[in-house]
């Protein structure tokens, strides 16, 4: 092949590769504009204030109500519950793996945690119905255990692998000199972990928590199956709740195209999108801060 031809092919290829980068940007822009477009269409029919402050979500009633508050509070409730369980467990496990576990134990535990990450969300939701639900029902004397607590425990299980992996990386990244200095002034292993290693790894651990929160908020199938999906305003952990993701999953299949209800589902999806975007950005900020801090 002539050199000129080869160089032409080479130049064309570069543009083809660059075009795939543009595709990636276009997908994110496409998702953003799809959500915005439909949300604007929704706000032309329903006042934004009614949407944000409304305490009732009842699109199919005689007088349709599109208040996002019950869904948003449900999502926050389940996510908070999940984090209350997953953060201590996750950090504890990460600390055990990074500071105490020997190499052989680590070689068993790490694949086990990776396996947990690989279990599909629908399988976890199924176990929420058949194992955890009856368990909670037995403890609380309720008819079934499909409530916010059930969803929170399942989401904790699902976000644990993320939290453990990222937090362990953060702990491993702390230079050995920090710990040696701490041992040198007479601190025990535990005191070093609590007062030196974990504070030094705090940005990385915060990033781990943020990624876990992002995963929990956006999760659909587990909460759809395990939380009972009552559309009323959430009353607490032992009551049925219905998150933003579950509402979209339940109602999108049945709503007619381009009705107010259809647009409303895109509007709550836009809220979900913004919330996860902000949380992931905070997480990323801490990851970068951590990286700068330790490369300096």
Residues 199-238 interacting with other proteins (rule: CB under 8 A): 214, 217-221, 224-225
Tell me the C-alpha to C-alpha distance, in Å, between residue 88 and each of 41, 97, 206, 281, 291.
43, 14, 12, 23, 23
Residues binding other proteins: number (CB under 8 A):
83
Q: Report which DSSP code applies to 60.
A: T
User: Which CB, 5 or 49, lies closer to other proteins?
Assistant: 5
Q: Which range of residues in 42-50, 66-74, 118-126, 178-186 is near other proteins by CB under 8 A?
A: 118-126
Candidates 2, 4, 16, 177; binder of other proteins (CB under 8 A) is 16
Cα gap 264→46, rounded to integer Å: 9
Asked if 89 interacts with other proteins (CB under 8 A), we say yes
Q: Report which DSSP code applies to 119.
A: S
Question: Interface mask (CB under 8 A) for other proteins, residues 128-157, using x and -?
Answer: -xxx-------------------------x
Q: Which residue has the tokens 């330790």?
A: 294
State both tokens at 173. Answer: 């990244």
Residue 92 CB, shortest distance to other proteins, in Å, is 3
Burial of 257 (0-12, 13-18, 19+ CB in 10 A): exposed
Question: Interface mask (CB under 8 A) for other proteins, residues 40-79, using x and -?
Answer: ----------------------------------------
Residue 142 CB, shortest distance to other proteins, in Å, is 18
Cα gap 183→64, rounded to integer Å: 65
User: Which CB, 13 or 55, lies closer to other proteins?
Assistant: 13
Residue 74 CB, shortest distance to other proteins, in Å, is 15
Q: 212 and 90 in contact (C-beta within 8 Å)?
A: yes
């Amino acid at each position: 092949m002539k050199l000129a031809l080869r160089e032409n092919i080479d130049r064309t290829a570069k543009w083809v590769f660059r075009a795939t980068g543009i595709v990636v940007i276009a997908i994110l822009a496409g998702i953003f504009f799809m959500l915005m477009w439909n949300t604007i269409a929704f706000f032309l029919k329903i006042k934004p204030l009614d949407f944000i402050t409304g305490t009732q979500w009842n699109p199919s009633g005689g007088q349709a109500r599109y208040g996002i508050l019950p869904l948003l509070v449900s999502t926050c409730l389940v996510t908070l519950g999940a984090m209350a369980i997953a953060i201590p467990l996750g950090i504890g496990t990460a600390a055990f793996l990074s500071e105490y576990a020997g190499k052989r134990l680590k070689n068993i535990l790490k694949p086990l945690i990776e396996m947990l990450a690989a279990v599909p969300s629908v399988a976890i939701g199924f176990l929420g119905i058949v194992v955890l639900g009856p368990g909670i029902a037995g403890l609380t004397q309720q008819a079934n255990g499909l409530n916010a607590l059930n969803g929170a425990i399942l989401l904790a299980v699902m976000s644990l692998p993320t939290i453990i992996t990222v937090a362990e990386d953060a702990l491993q990244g702390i230079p050995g000199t920090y710990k040696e200095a701490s041992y040198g002034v007479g601190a025990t292993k535990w005191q070093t972990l609590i007062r030196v290693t974990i504070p030094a790894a705090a940005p990385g651990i915060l990033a781990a928590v943020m990624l876990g929160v992002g995963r929990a908020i956006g999760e659909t199938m587990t909460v759809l199956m395990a939380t009972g999906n009552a559309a009323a305003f959430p009353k607490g952990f032992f009551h049925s709740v219905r998150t933003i993701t579950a509402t979209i999953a339940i109602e999108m299949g049945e709503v007619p195209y381009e009705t107010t209800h259809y647009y409303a589902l895109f509007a709550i999806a836009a809220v979900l999108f913004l919330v996860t975007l902000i949380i992931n950005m905070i997480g990323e900020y801490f990851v970068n801060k951590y990286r700068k801090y330790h490369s300096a």
